[in-house]
Amino acid sequence: QVQLVESGGGLVQAGGSLRLSCAASGTLLRADSMGWSRQVPGKQRELVAVITRGGISDYGDSVKGRFTISRDNAKNTVYLQMNSLLPEDTAVYYCFGNLVDGLGRGKDYWGQGTQVTVSS
């Protein structure tokens, strides 16, 4: 069974840094686009960053210049380096990816979410 497993969330002071990781596992041929979204209770999920298999990335306006997305195709893993964190970055961060399973079927998957809390 294909799944995405996140790690790296936690509590950090404003101005600090955190690095999130998300690994795809299971019977997997490849991972195409992967990325991160975040959600605050009562608000819509917001795109944070996305990266193609070829390494082309895009960011939400609120994180440009502070966050960097990267990936390791050999490990089917995507990373999110978050610098200069602000209290408004506090949210549950969800990894997502378009994953192709062993039968060649592509499908969007989501991780379980990891909490990031930035204290002022």
C-alpha distance across the termini of the chain, in Å: 40
Q: Report d(CA 72, CA 91) in Å as an integer.
A: 25
Each of the 120 residues of the chain gets a pLDDT tens digit; together they read 889 999 999 999 999 999 999 999 888 889 999 999 999 999 999 999 999 999 999 999 999 999 999 999 999 999 999 999 999 999 999 999 999 988 999 999 999 999 999 999
CA-based torsion, 95, 101, 104, 107: positive or negative: negative
Chain-centre distance for alpha carbon 55: 14
Question: What is residue 29's predicted lDDT score, i.e. its pLDDT?
Answer: 87
Question: What is residue 91's predicted lDDT score, i.e. its pLDDT?
Answer: 98
Question: Are 117 and 90 a contacting pair, CB within 8 Å?
Answer: yes
